[in-house]
Amino acid sequence: MDEGERKFGHLVRDAFGALTSLDSRFWRTFIALAFRPGRLSRDYIDGKRARWLAPLTIFILANLVYFLSPATTDFNLPFEDQVPGHIAIEAQGDPEALSPAFRAYHETRQGQIHSPLTAPLVERRVAARDAARRAASDGERGYTLADYKRAYDRTNLDVSKLLVGLHVPFMGLALLLLFIRKRMFFAEHFVAALHLFSFAVLLQQLLLGPIGFLGRHMGGPWFMALIQPLIDLSLVILAIYFLIALRRVYQTPWWWATPATLLFMGSIVIIHLFIYRPVQFLTIHALI
């Protein structure tokens, strides 16, 4: 071996060359993921796998991006969006200092679908800790909903990073039911779900990440004015991407791919509302 190849500089140049080469599997895979919907899944099903990164590798890398810099998304709802409005208001610490807009928004909110069942868990936890703390401090200081909220929001981001992949197996099940006549293995539907979810996560990071960062650090009314159009745009892009991907993966005509896409996106909403959010809330509740 040449002496120059044993030096650290050669190692760095070699690694940089592998990452920047458009012929590498890394870049080839993610370019296909972004601009050729369904190609990776179809090739996997057809046994053409050597050109691409493994589906789980793609999923892990996409989630690593989310793990390192999560955008403002429905994956990490704050405490006040997880509970009925009256609890959200009380948990602010000083309800009298709330803005009229915040109060008006939350006064009539019923919370999430699971809130009628989980709100009593919060109230019992707060009451028990309040009694224990007052007993330990001779009644000088108790435990409030504001204390619970602070603990919840500190833990929320880390839990959402770990649980976000919970969507994938249920998305795979939805694809199996939608295309049951194709007589494919569940693993093949699961691979398609991995690719679709990886694209969705990366898209949200690209569109919502920068705005979320600025909103957290600068604030201002412009944040909401920008975030909603970007959310709407991401949904349109996802709908088009899913339509093309499902048609290619399952080799189905447009007349079925179109309603299948709508049903698939509806199933994701159901998974998110009825499975992910309750599991996320209960996990955080158990940890704090």
pLDDT at 22: 47
Highest mean pLDDT among 67-76, 101-110, 136-145, 179-188: 179-188
Note the pLDDT of residue 231: 77
What pLDDT does residue 210 have? 63
Q: What is the pLDDT of residue 35?
A: 96
* Polymer length of the chain: 288
Greatest mean pLDDT among 1-5, 75-79, 265-269: 265-269
Q: Where are the domains of the chain?
A: 38-67+76-287
The average pLDDT across 199-203 equals 92
Nearest-5° angle of CA 122, CA 282, CA 187? Answer: 165
pLDDT at 76: 83
pLDDT above 70 for 21: no
Average pLDDT on 230-253 reads 93
C-alpha–C-alpha distance, residues 186 and 181, integer Å:
13
Quote the pLDDT of residue 197.
Answer: 96
Helices 186-218 and 25-35: angle between axes, nearest 10 degrees:
90
- What is the C-alpha separation between 54 and 191, in angstroms, rounded? 9
Mean pLDDT (whole number) for 82-99? 83
